Amino acid sequence: MSHIVVIGAGQAGASLVAKLRSLGHHGKITLIGEESAPPYQRPPLSKAYLLGEMEEERLYLRPESFYAENRIELRLGQPVKAIDAGAKTIVVGEDTVSYDQLALTTGSVPRRLPAAIGGTLNGVFTVRTLSDVDAMQPEMTAGKRVLIVGGGYIGLEAAAVAAKLGLEVTLVEMADRILQRVAAPETSDFFRALHKEHGVDLREGVGLDRLTGADRVEGAVLTDSTELALDLVIVGVGISPATQVAQEAGLTLDDGIAVDAFGRTSDPSIWAAGDCASLPYRGARIRLESVQNAIDQAEAVAANMLGADQPYVPKPWFWSDQYDVKLQIAGLNTGYDTVITRQDESAVSHWYYSGAVLLAVDAMNAPRAYMVGKRLIESGRSPDPSQVGDPETDLKALMRA
């Protein structure tokens, strides 16, 4: 029977191997991960886990026994050194492993600050892995001074946790506004006000020039020449697809591992899914950095590895938790020209349009707006913007329009 090897034991890898078994693959399955922990959820790392509200075992996607019970060989703490696509082998640890089909679910890696500006000093952290957060957690004590570098969702979530734990929080964002790359000014305004209400010193249009300190970070100099005394730094300046092993194997890259609509790479025996994969979408290529895409694309790839021959059509959605606000996002706002704001008492939502076409919805503590917006987008329907913005309009009526 054929041997399927999956490199990358995160959300996508775990979803892919489970789907292979549920679809009836009886051959050998091997799941290989660099980290020593079994596949786990990443979103709670920067929220409940960092706050100390979730035990490590609750992060695990499945009990460790699941893999043995389903005859999935789980090789943890073993980075893959090389892929020989011609011979259909990989080198992992001291072993050479043969495969019939290979899936790459290598995920992404956090962008780090250069060593030249102090990025390798002790006390400088990223938020990506369990070990990252385990190293950071003892530092997160009330009264300490923390600098958050980056005003995207990871930076803002880290700022929220730090503020809740009683640290003195300064956040710098080099762009003109927080969330500039991913959200409309209206959403940026909402979260700016939220963080300032919780005491975060939020500075936009200001970047980090350098960190100071001998072995450990002691301060920072910002691009406006401001000097800060610090106890620690959290870096949230984005992620990059983990493509090194794919590149060395000679696979085509295009802001990630390039795959076709079925998840197949430039090598017909190698597939990719999750954060590392660049997929076709509406005439362009995108990478979707979300749990939803990691699961859905991985399950689609599993089916296609077994011969389903069904293209994967993403239905993007995302979320972020900050303080007592749950942000839920449906769709992709790329190309919007109008934003309609809907206020329902304490719930607010921003609806992105391109002309008369609804593209996306940002819903802050507005689960009904999120669900209706998501269904509308997925069904290709676009309600009249004037109805959306009118709080007297019943959201369910938009589904019937």
Q: Give yes or no: residues 212 and 192 share one domain.
A: yes
**How far is Cα of residue 197 from the mean position of the Cα atoms in its chain?**
26
Instruction: Specify whether 168 is located in the same domain as 125.
Output: yes
Do 134 and 164 reside in the same domain of the chain? yes
Q: What's the confidence (pLDDT) of residue 169?
A: 98
- Asked if 335 and 264 sit in the same domain, the reply is no
pLDDT beyond 90 at 398: no
Q: What is the mean pLDDT of residues 36-51?
A: 92
Specify if 68 maps to a domain.
Answer: yes
CA distance 104 to 291: 16
Kindly state whether residues 98 and 246 are assigned to the same domain: yes
CA 197 – CA 387 distance, rounded (Å): 31
Q: What is the mean pLDDT of residues 5-16?
A: 98
Amino acid identity for residue 346 in this structure: S
pLDDT the model gives residue 401: 63
Q: Evaluate whether residue 149 is within a structural domain.
A: yes
DSSP labels, 257-295: EE--TTSB-SSTTEEE-STTEEEEETTEEE---SHHHHH
Helical packing angle, 11-22 and 291-305, nearest 10°? 40
The boundaries of the domain holding residue 37 are: 3-109+239-305
Domain boundary among 305, 337, 362: 305
Q: Are both 292 and 340 inside the same structural domain?
A: no
| Range with the poorest average pLDDT among 5-9, 117-121, 388-392 | 388-392
The pLDDT assigned to 220 comes to: 98
> In this structure, are 259 and 276 located in the same domain?
yes
Tell me, what's the pLDDT at 345? Answer: 80
Number of domains in the chain: 3
Residue that is last in its domain, among 209, 235, 261: 235
Mean pLDDT of all residues in 263-282: 97
Q: How far apart are CA 149 and CA 278, in angstroms?
A: 27
pLDDT, residue 319, reads 93
- Mean pLDDT value of segment 165-189: 97
| CATH number of the domain encompassing residue 355 | 3.30.390.30
CA dihedral 332, 335, 337, 338 (to 10 degrees): -10
Domain boundary among 197, 218, 235: 235
> For residue 5, how many C-alpha atoms fall within 13 Å in the half-sphere facing its CB?
20
Does the structure show a pLDDT above 70 at 288? yes
Please name the residues in contact with 51: beta carbons below 8 A apart, sequence gap of 6 or more. 161, 164, 165
Pair (147, 188) in one structural domain: yes
The answer to whether residues 147 and 171 belong to one domain is: yes
- Residue 283, domain member (yes or no): yes
**What's 289's domain CATH number?**
3.50.50.60
State yes or no: pLDDT of 16 exceeds 80: yes
Window from 114-123, 204-213, 296-305, 391-400 with minimum mean pLDDT: 391-400
Pair (370, 226) in one structural domain: no
DSSP 69-130: HTTEEEE-S--EEEEETTTTEEEETTEEEE-SEEEE---EEE----GGGTTTSBTEEE-SSH
Do 342 and 263 have their domain in common? no
pLDDT at 244: 96
Residues 338 and 362 in one domain: yes
